[in-house]
Amino acid sequence: MADLVMQQRTDFHRFRAMACQVTVQLVGAGPQEAADAFRVVEEIFRDTESSCTRFDPASPLMRANSAPRQYHAVPQRCFDAILEAYDAYCVTGGLFDPRVLRTLESMGYDRSLAFDTGDVQISGPTGPPRSDTAVHRWQPRFREATGSVRLGPKRIDLGGIGKGLAVRWAISALRCVGTAALVEAGGDLATRGSGPEGAGWRAAIENPLITGQAAHREPIAVVDTSDRAVATSSVRLRHWKVGDREVHHLIDPRSGGPAASKLAAVTVIHEDPAWAEVWSKSLFVAGAVEILGLAESRALAAIWVELSGRIGVSPAAAPSVLWQVSDAGS
């Protein structure tokens, strides 16, 4: 039986969307079936991006942000993403809070930045902006019958959940295609089935303390991701300078500035890719002191790397870890 599984047809499709490369892998699908499925997945990502991007002032999200105290009719994917973000805000006790758009813009992240160059410099203020999220509860309003939302009073960014939702919707669209499938987008992934060789799916976790291609060649761990989702929140790539201040994109809602968590990366293995994304970011914001307790209290499968190189693994993640190094800094 193993030999028969290994001989199954495997198809790949790659494209760029949501500021990252998306890879789709299908096992056991016919040529036309695979082509049709790839087109559907690409449409899902394009639709999610066009609806939820903050980099296009004409996008439905940014039209809603332009007058956040008013109701705005938005496409279904945008409506669902905002509703999911609000659910995440409530479940995480505000550790996940999309009302960080003003902070990101104040740090020059109001457009796509060339993070792949490794040296992004923005002229601007040297101090963090005042936090509005810590004292004001987020209370958006939804009118499901008309597909309308009221964000107010602060504007939001869906970058912290939109990619995870696109992966969720894509892997769901592939549930009856072939015998196995994988969708990966910039490090966030979800799988289904027994994998290309019948032994399940595995993923390597990059070392966040190493730059360049070496991060791919020298992972800190390999984990079993069969019929699971994985997301990583890291500052390895998305960091830059504003004036003389080092900043990154993972904002702590409690301070209004980049999280000073003493963590380099957090990976979460979860049943759902959007919630893997939510919890990886929330655990990162919680920081090195609180992460183990929070992960244990929520039964979260989490693996994290501290800036010192120390690696932590929550009890729920341990069964999924197939191999790991003892220290990311050594």
Percent of the chain at pLDDT > 90 equals: 72
The 10s digit of each residue's pLDDT in 192-250 is 999 998 899 999 999 999 876 555 568 999 999 999 999 999 887 776 677 777 777 88
| Residue 139 vs residue 152, higher pLDDT | 139
Between the alpha carbon of residue 142 and those of residues 62, 75, 145, 327, the distances in Å are 17, 13, 9, 46
Q: Coil, helix or strand for 21?
A: strand
Angle between helix 162-173 and helix 76-91 axes, rounded to 10 deg: 120
User: Does pLDDT of 2 surpass 60?
Assistant: no
DSSP H helices, the chain, are 2-6, 31-52, 60-66, 76-91, 101-106, 162-173, 214-217, 273-286, 291-297
* Ramachandran angles phi, psi of 31, nearest 5°: -55, -45
User: Which of 286, 279, 263 minimizes the C-alpha distance to 229?
Assistant: 279
Question: Could you say which DSSP state residue 58 is in?
Answer: T
Residue 285 has a CB neighbour count (10 Å cut-off) of 27
Q: Is residue 133 over pLDDT 70?
A: no
**Closest by alpha carbon to 259, among 228, 238, 229?**
238
- DSSP classification of residue 179: S
Domains recognised in the chain with CATH numbers: 1-54+159-191 (3.10.520.10), 201-330 (3.10.520.10)
* pLDDT at position 4 over 50: no
pTM: 0.91
Token look-up 């991060």 returns: 215
Q: How many whole angstroms separate alpha carbon 327 and alpha carbon 220? A: 8
pLDDT value, residue 103: 86
Q: State the chain's mean pLDDT as an integer.
A: 90
Q: Give the pLDDT band (50/70/90) at residue 8.
A: confident
What is the rounded CA–CA span in Å between residue 18 and residue 6?
33
Nearest to 156 by CA among 92, 251, 236, 245: 251
Phi, psi of 312, rounded to the nearest 5 degrees = -115, 145
Residue with tokens 């002229």: 123
Q: Please, which pLDDT band fits residue 1 given cuts at 50, 70 and 90?
A: very low
Residue 101: CA count within 13 A, CB half-sphere: 22
- β-partners of residue 20 are 17
180, 198 contact by CB (below 8 A)? no
- The pLDDT tens digits for 75-110 are 999 999 999 999 999 999 999 999 998 888 888 777
What's the average model confidence in pLDDT over 45-67? 96
CA–CA–CA angle 172, 274, 219 (5° rounding): 100
170 by Cβ neighbours in 10 Å (0-12 / 13-18 / 19+) ranks as buried
pLDDT at 300: 98
The pLDDT tens digits for 169-193 are 999 999 999 999 999 998 899 999 9
